[in-house]
Structure 1
């Protein structure tokens, strides 16, 4: 059971979902604050200082994507995006701007609560070991874990936190096949219960930034049935 001091900011404009979530989450031991549009969410965020944000994508005034982007400029609080669409673009954009996980409507309260508890448990460990150490260079990609800097073919590239953590892990183990389960455990935590497609979305985003031709990747390669490997260029 979650502790009473755990505060969730629910950002949702559909009243039926608001009522059901408020009742269900309070029953699970969460303190619930509700914002019914994006502007109210940003105003409440500073006042409430929530432990987790449950954020709908489609909102009046300010979109959920823009709310997430704004929150990420000042906080690493866990954010779970909620979308009524199963389209990959919603997932990609949400994760790109810093969401920790996503769920698609309609969802079961039990699944939602499990994901909420998972991101809350791993929040204190959100800075993994791969984010410390000296700069690493493999081929034309250099990554500085301590400075959170990436240079690709001489040009600096900005990466969201999870993409950065994933690239660190891949480059740190360049030439080795990393199973999907290992990547998920190391980047998202041992208790991650979300969709495993989250890993594939992040890999796709990374390829768009480090590959010469993302449609034919030669750096971050898929090892069918196992996972991914960061190829070491031949001398």
Structure 2
């Protein structure tokens, strides 16, 4: 079954170029030119992924992405922008984008990013022996892609879930930012490891809800992060 991709860009030349290459790659594609129309397309088209330009009209890409996440819509989003400063990338990810590409870009690179996102989603749970992880009131259900904190559901974006799961699967091991980039995003961000820091920060905001909450993700100075797990167990059948 064809994956459906919604392109949101107000530059027809860019939309047509992306559409041409995505259709050649086997995807079903729809193009729209403004942010407001995204929400009119969600139900009739049901996109598996959105390619979203940052600089749109009344509702820009950041506002669209933020509204999607506020509605608990976890559709993967790749944000496009001519802005190349790392702070702009962080802003896009901070509002719920799963990836960020700067213009001009190669259509083939975009396809690689899309394939990487779908590959990561498809690979979960990945191992038939891993059913769930539990630590100090935090429960990660691998098969259902759900997270609970003291039996309260925690809403995570697809990338936040994948990052948390990757940390759980390597419980107790210190992982560098580059290892996390490669393991979770399935490619390298050309040394831009602050993207990892943004997602780690989001996870902490959602998991460590007050000063008395357990510190699940530990920072290892000058190295990276690890899942602190004195009582973390992987549960499995048989």
TM-score (norm 2): 0.69
- What is the aligned partner in structure 2 of residue 79 from structure 1? 77
TM-aligned CA deviation for residue 199 of structure 1:
1.9
Q: What is the CA RMSD across the aligned residues, in angstroms?
A: 3.8
User: CA 1:223–1:52 in structure 2 vs 1: closer, same or farther (change >3 Å)?
Assistant: same
Answer with 173-182 or 8-17: which moved more: 173-182
1-structure distance, mates of 2:117, 2:169: 25
Contact 1:136 1:171 in 2 (8 A): no
Question: Structure 2, unaligned stretches of length 5 or more?
Answer: 231-238
Higher relative contact order (CA 8 A, sep 6+): 2
| Counterparts of residues 1-235 of structure 1 (less than 5 Å) | 5-72=2-69, 73=71, 75-126=73-124, 133=132, 135-137=134-136, 143-146=138-141, 148-150=147-149, 160-163=157-160, 165-167=162-164, 169-170=166-167, 175-180=172-177, 182-184=179-181, 186-188=183-185, 192-195=186-189, 197=193, 198-206=195-203, 220-224=218-222, 226-230=223-227
User: CA 1:159–1:48 in structure 2 vs 1: closer, same or farther (change >3 Å)?
Assistant: closer
Question: Structure 1, unaligned stretches of length 5 or more?
Answer: none
TM-aligned CA deviation for residue 106 of structure 1:
1.3
2-structure distance, mates of 1:127, 1:95: 24
User: CA 1:184–1:150 in structure 2 vs 1: closer, same or farther (change >3 Å)?
Assistant: farther
TM-score (norm 1): 0.70
Aligned pair count?
216
1-structure distance, mates of 2:106, 2:79: 15
User: CA 1:211–1:84 in structure 2 vs 1: closer, same or farther (change >3 Å)?
Assistant: farther
User: CA 1:128–1:85 in structure 2 vs 1: closer, same or farther (change >3 Å)?
Assistant: farther
2-structure distance, mates of 1:59, 1:21: 17
User: CA 1:228–1:43 in structure 2 vs 1: closer, same or farther (change >3 Å)?
Assistant: same
Large movers: runs of 4+ above 6 Å: none
